[in-house]
Amino acid sequence: MKTVKMLALPLLITLLHSPVCLSVTVSSSKPKVEVHEHTDAVLACEFRTEKDQNPRIEWKKRGKAVTFVYFNNKFTGSYADRARIDGATLTIHSVSQKDSGEYRCEVTASEDHVSLGEAIVTLNVLVPPHVPSCEVPSSVFVGSGLELLCKDKLSVPPATYRWYKDNKALTSTADTPYNIDTNKGTLKFKSVSKMDTGMYRCESSNSVGAPKSCVAQQLKVMEYPLNMTILIAGAVGFLMLVLFCCICVCVCQRRGCCKKGKKTKSTKSYNPPPPPPPPSTRNLKHYKQTQSFMI
């Protein structure tokens, strides 16, 4: 027992005389915050200093660039009229989707051995469904492919979609002539028929609020008119005739039956013979009349 006391006493003296590392510590009791749009968001930040009783507190938001929220004991930008700070905890009133992001609480205690501490808080603002935009054509011909579009770009988390025809929910199966993508909001027909005529609308929903629906729009599936049918048939026939002629020409050229003998033109230019020389005057003097001419 005496031996233990003798060993403990020097150790205690050593600890008392050793330098103490003074540092500021910063933390958050809730590093991830999710709130609904137009409500208040509380971003908790707790700190402890060993010596400095008046540390400097700053809040920053990280995005494409780092921006100040609270700096030099005052709020900046759009936070000036809708935020408050208690200790180091930041409260933002009436948040919107633009306020979502990563925030950093920084505490600087210049008198502490480690003078800077920080904590990260992520804010996610939840947005209920909005009225989606729906694209439904007014008319389409029988047998055509068709895609109806529905999109809600504002809801957070992203909305899922449901299509209705004449106020009856559509469900795609292996037997239905259409396909529905509940995540992208598309309703696709490979080939529409007269039975697909009706009033179509789309509904968007998520876990935050009540579903929202666009106004129902009329889709009419029509038969091709007679003159249009004749025109299409004529165009198809003409294209087939042109294709047939092209095939015949190609076959003929390959077999050599389309080749004709061609006279090759001489590349040399034609040079006419030189004119005969004029009669010599010398020969005219020695000319003798051998015959007489009678008039």
CATH of the domain at 167: 2.60.40.10
Q: Does residue 121 sit in the same domain as residue 143?
A: no
Assigned token pair, 65: 């660039």
* pLDDT confidence tier of residue 292, bands split at 50, 70 and 90: very low
77-102 pLDDT, tens per residue?
Answer: 999 999 999 999 999 999 999 999 99
Residues in the chain: 295
Is 36 among the domain residues? yes
Q: 278: helix, coil or strand?
A: coil
Mean pLDDT of 26-42: 96
Domain boundary (156, 189, 222) is at 222
Q: Who has greater pLDDT, 23 or 186? A: 186
Q: Does residue 143 sit in the same domain as residue 201?
A: yes
Is 2 among the domain residues? no
pLDDT at residue 54 in the model? 87
Q: Does residue 201 sit in the same domain as residue 146?
A: yes
Q: Who has greater pLDDT, 136 or 11? A: 136
pLDDT at residue 19 in the model? 45
Q: Does residue 165 sit in the same domain as residue 93?
A: no
**Per-position DSSP letters for 162-192, written without gaps between them:** EEEETTEE----SSSSEEEETTTTEEEESS-
**Residue span of the structural domain in which 211 resides:** 133-222
pLDDT at residue 14 in the model? 47
Domain boundary (222, 254, 283) is at 222
Assigned token pair, 25: 């510590």
Task: Give me the number of domains the chain comprises.
Answer: 2
Domain boundary (91, 126, 161) is at 126
Q: Does residue 72 sit in the same domain as residue 142?
A: no
Q: Whole-structure pTM over 0.85, yes or no? A: no
Q: Does residue 101 sit in the same domain as residue 158?
A: no
Q: Does residue 158 sit in the same domain as residue 82?
A: no
Mean pLDDT of 5-20: 48
